Amino acid sequence: MSVAFLFPGQGAQYAGMLHDIKNKWGLATMFEEASEALNQDVLSLDSSEKLKYNKNVQICLFIAGVATARSFKNKGYSPDVVGGHSIGAFGAAVTSEVLSFKEALFLVKKRGELMENAYPDGYGMGVVMGLREHQLLSIVHEISTDAAPVYVANLNAPDQITISGTLKAIEKVLEKASKKGARKTKMLHVTVPSHCPLMEGVSSELRKIITEVKGKAPVVPFIGNCKARKLWKAADIKEDLAASVALPVRWHDATEVMYEMGTRLYIEMAPGRVLTDLTAKSFPEARAISAAESTTKSVLILMEKEKM
């Protein structure tokens, strides 16, 4: 049996998250390294006010995920496979040693800046629960226009799908989805239209930047966002990181690949819990836990048992 480390994406953030992680796991040197690289105190980025900015959210989530994984590694425990949802993929890339911490931090900062500048207001994301992809696609195609586009974005579970686009179009889709039998719909705390064609320009710019980073072959399997496949080459992983900002995240398929590889323990890195719940529902025979909501000792015991 094997252990997977899952790195959460936007929506998992909360005020004070980096302070909580530092208090729980320490890693003062890593926070100092990040602050030096960004030329600012990263612990100043997790306030409610600062987290209104997409760039800061992405930086905080990235640091949180890597810090969690590093705390386990420092105790001699490593994953057998990694995967990250959206921005979480950069944390997975560091943990699999494709990118260095500083390389990925630079890319995450640029990614956040590019996304923020592309669509400063009037755009976002929503989520629909209880409808299948083909049902939601039908609604999206009916409502989306050139002036107010909306797209199906992340496929988190067979019946949990996010949409991206203009806020007006998203609201219309959510309203129609509710009338068509959706169990739940809501707007997400995301200020940009991620993972849809509106981000193709950002993807192109990010690709230019990321090609300048050499990267290394992963030391553990890395499951990509775009095609939900195991990637073994640095070039393929870098392309996935660049392309995924404009393409849907096939998250359910990614976790299914992990399951087929023998994963029976999924550990979500801080500060998340959403991926834990998705995995527990999709794979009841496996175990999914949130590191942020568990003691370090309990997580290590479970990892030890899984690897026996």
Catalytic residues: 86, 195
Helix (H, G, I), strand (E, B) or coil at 166: strand
147's CB contacts (< 8 A; 6+ apart) are none
Tokens of 140: 């999206």
Cβ atoms of 216 and 98 within 8 Å: the answer is yes
> Alpha-carbon dihedral of residues 25, 221, 251, 124, nearest 10 degrees?
60
Phi, psi of 165 (to 5 degrees): 155, -150
The residue among 58, 91, 12, 54 whose CA lies nearest residue 193 is: 54
Integer Cα distance of 82 and 94 in angstroms: 10
306, 270, 277: which is closest to 23 by C-alpha?
270
Length of the chain: 308
**Under 8 Å between Cβ of 2 and 302:** no
Q: What is the rounded distance in angstroms from the CA atom of residue 81 to the CA atom of residue 92?
A: 9
Q: In angstroms, rounded to a whole number, what is the distance separating the alpha carbons of residues 137 and 127? A: 13
Q: Where are the alpha helices (DSSP H) in the chain?
A: 17-25, 28-38, 54-73, 88-95, 101-118, 133-143, 167-179, 200-210, 234-243, 251-260, 274-282, 296-306
Report cis status (omega within 30 of 0) of the bond before 221: no
